[in-house]
Amino acid sequence: MDKAQKFELLKRSFGIKHKLKVHDTMKQPETHEEAAVTLIAKWELEDELKAIEEILAETRRENVALKRNTLEKERFQNKIKK
């Protein structure tokens, strides 16, 4: 995943977090139907946020593994040269 894609996912996650804060500050629904609609909408946002966070976490794990591999190769090559 390139930086632009990561950037877009991060922006989206910030937007979702803001929407969730707005949900928390809204007045309580007056009917069970309104409560159900509000709860489902909140769940949808939370699910999307979790999916984005999982994608970004996986990307970071892959990036760390790549960086570690590179560093280990460099260290191994430096030992051979000595």
Region of 75 please: left (phi>0), alpha (psi -120 to 50) or beta.
alpha
Q: What is the pLDDT at residue 82? A: 58
Q: What is the pLDDT at residue 68? A: 93
Q: Is the pLDDT of residue 59 over 80?
A: yes
Specify the amino acid at residue 32: H
Residue 25's domain spans which residues? 3-81
Instruction: Summarize the confidence of residues 30-48 as an average pLDDT.
Output: 96
Q: What is the pLDDT at residue 81? A: 66
- The predicted-structure confidence for 6-18, as pLDDT tens digits, reads as follows 999 999 999 999 9
Q: How many domains does the chain have?
A: 1
Question: If you average pLDDT over every residue of the chain, what do you get?
Answer: 93
* pTM of the entire predicted model: 0.80
